[in-house]
Amino acid sequence: MISTFKANTEYKYSLYIKLTEEGYNAGYRFGENTALSLNGEVIDLNPDYVSISEDGGLAQFGYVLTMTPTDKPSFVTGGVNMDGKINLIDAIMVQKNSLGIIVFTDEQLALGDVNKDGYISLVDAIMIQKYALEIISDFD
Ligand SMILES: [Ca+2]
């Protein structure tokens, strides 16, 4: 699963709907005009592309997301000040949080826990520092 998106990058995601074996054996097939109805209400999937498998048993609704830069808060792992960049400011903020000097929001807590051990510590601060200084290239 992707949790970090790069600016000016195109991402594609798809929704797959598969017929049950029972439905397939009963002769049901997906077609280009297949509509999804939930509780009697037709859901407008509005996909960028639709693809039906050759045997009609699988429908794929595809979407294209383009990431564009914005001034709004950016959610990048390690980027606790949410400016979309990971630098020494973030490392210092994580350090201060781990020492109880500043309080983080839930989002910041999630972004700052770069080693994903469930809490913010100096280990996270050091990892962010190393990332900012290009000593490491990711947090894995
Ligand atoms: Ca951590």
Task: Determine the 3-state secondary structure of 35 from DSSP.
Answer: coil
70-106 pLDDT, tens per residue? Answer: 667 778 999 999 888 899 999 999 999 999 999 999 9
Q: What is the pLDDT of residue 2?
A: 64
Residue entry with tokens 């049901």: 28
Q: What is the pLDDT of residue 70?
A: 67
How many Å apart are CA 48 and CA 37, to the nearest integer? 19
Alpha carbon of 122 to ligand 1 centroid (Å) = 8
Bridge-based pairing of strands 58-66 and 36-38 is unpaired
Provide φ and ψ at 91, rounded to 5°.
-60, -40
* Per-domain boundaries in the chain: 10-66, 88-132
Where is average pLDDT lowest: 5-9, 37-41, 112-116, 118-122?
5-9
Alpha carbon of 92 to ligand 1 centroid (Å) = 14
Alpha carbon of 111 to ligand 1 centroid (Å) = 10
1-17 pLDDT, tens per residue? Answer: 666 777 778 888 888 88
Q: What is the pLDDT of residue 101?
A: 93
Give the residue among 33, 28, 26 at the shortest CA–CA distance from 56: 28
3-59 pLDDT, tens per residue? Answer: 677 777 888 888 888 999 999 999 999 887 777 787 888 877 778 888 899 999 998
Cβ neighbours of residue 7 closer than 8 Å, sequence gap 6 or more:
67, 68, 69, 84
Q: Is this structure's pTM higher than 0.75?
A: no
